[in-house]
């Protein structure tokens, strides 16, 4: 399973709908789903109207693809409201980030997830994102949630033992492109990928089994996406690929620096599929 964590194009401070539609159109024949309004989309820097716009555009351009929508609010009531809104706008599932900064207790996380999930009738993908949220999900709590059969997990924690243990209980997707092959070997069933923004076909090959040459290229692209805080580098990559008209980000992020641009400029982007 391959889901692209869509980046959000900006131009002169506003969402560039044309570039966004172009990005989504390139995904249609290579991926199994899309993720809008996630971390790569700079979700916390978008207002409610902008989030609705991105969801609506994604559903309009690729109605045949399942659309997952990120829910990242640390306030349980607000997260629940965001999930309900996403479902009403046509989301096929939500990616529920753990409350950042709050660093809730294991029981608090369990209650947070249950309250949000009970408010909607669509699947919920849990998100282990310690580098973003400040803590690793409690394995026992995730295993308890897995018993219902309703939840999936996007794992960006980097602990392969954690991945392997939970893969035996539920569907786990890789949340770290640099560890994709290793996580697939430990039981992951696919990826929620940043690299697939610029190389959806290549990313699909990695999941299904790729040559050493393709694996090396994917590994290089994965490293490039992490040269700076995501999505700074991948937005410049999308610009170089001709998909985005600009590589703007919103403060407190800043545009790709000279060193990042130099490394990305060295790639022959016409050969990347």
| Mean pLDDT across the chain | 96
Given a contact cutoff of 8 angstroms between Cβ atoms, the answer to whether 154 and 126 are in contact is yes
State the pLDDT at residue 143. 96
Domains in the chain, CATH or no CATH each: 2-211 (3.20.20.70)
Residue 156 dihedral angles phi and psi, to the nearest 5°? -115, 25
How much of the chain, in percent, has pLDDT values that exceed 90?
Answer: 93
Residue 134 pLDDT class (50, 70, 90 cuts) = confident
Catalytically active residues, by annotation: 127, 154
Amino acid 210: pLDDT: 81
Q: How confident is the model at residue 8 (pLDDT cuts 50, 70, 90)?
A: very high
């Amino acid at each position: 399973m391959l889901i692209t964590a869509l980046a959000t194009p900006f131009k002169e401070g506003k969402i560039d709908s044309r570039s966004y539609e172009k990005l989504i159109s390139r995904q249609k024949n290579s991926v199994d789903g899309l993720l809008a309004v996630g971390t790569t989309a700079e979700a916390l820097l978008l207002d409610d109207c902008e989030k609705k716009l991105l969801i609506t555009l994604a559903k309009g351009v690729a109605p045949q693809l399942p659309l997952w929508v990120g829910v990242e609010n640390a306030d349980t009531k607000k997260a629940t409201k965001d999930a309900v809104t996403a479902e009403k706008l046509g989301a096929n599932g939500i990616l529920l980030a753990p409350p950042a900064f709050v660093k809730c207790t294991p029981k608090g996380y369990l209650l947070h997830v249950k309250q949000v999930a009970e408010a909607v009738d669509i699947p919920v993908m849990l998100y282990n994102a310690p580098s973003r949220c400040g803590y690793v999900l409690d394995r026992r709590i995730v295993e308890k949630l897995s018993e219902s059969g309703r939840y999936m997990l996007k794992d960006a924690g980097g602990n392969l033992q954690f991945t392997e243990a939970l893969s035996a209980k539920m569907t786990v997707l890789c949340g770290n492109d640099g560890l994709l092959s290793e996580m697939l070997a430990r039981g992951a069933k696919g990826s929620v990928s940043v690299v697939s923004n610029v190389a959806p076909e290549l990313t699909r090959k990695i999941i299904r089994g790729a040559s050493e040459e393709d694996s090396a290229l994917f590994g290089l692209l994965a490293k490039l996406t992490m040269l700076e805080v995501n999505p700074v580098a991948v937005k410049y990559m999308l610009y170089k690929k001709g998909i985005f008209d600009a590589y703007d980000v919103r403060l407190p992020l800043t545009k790709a620096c000279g060193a990042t641009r130099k490394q990305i400029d060295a790639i022959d982007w016409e050969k990347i599929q």
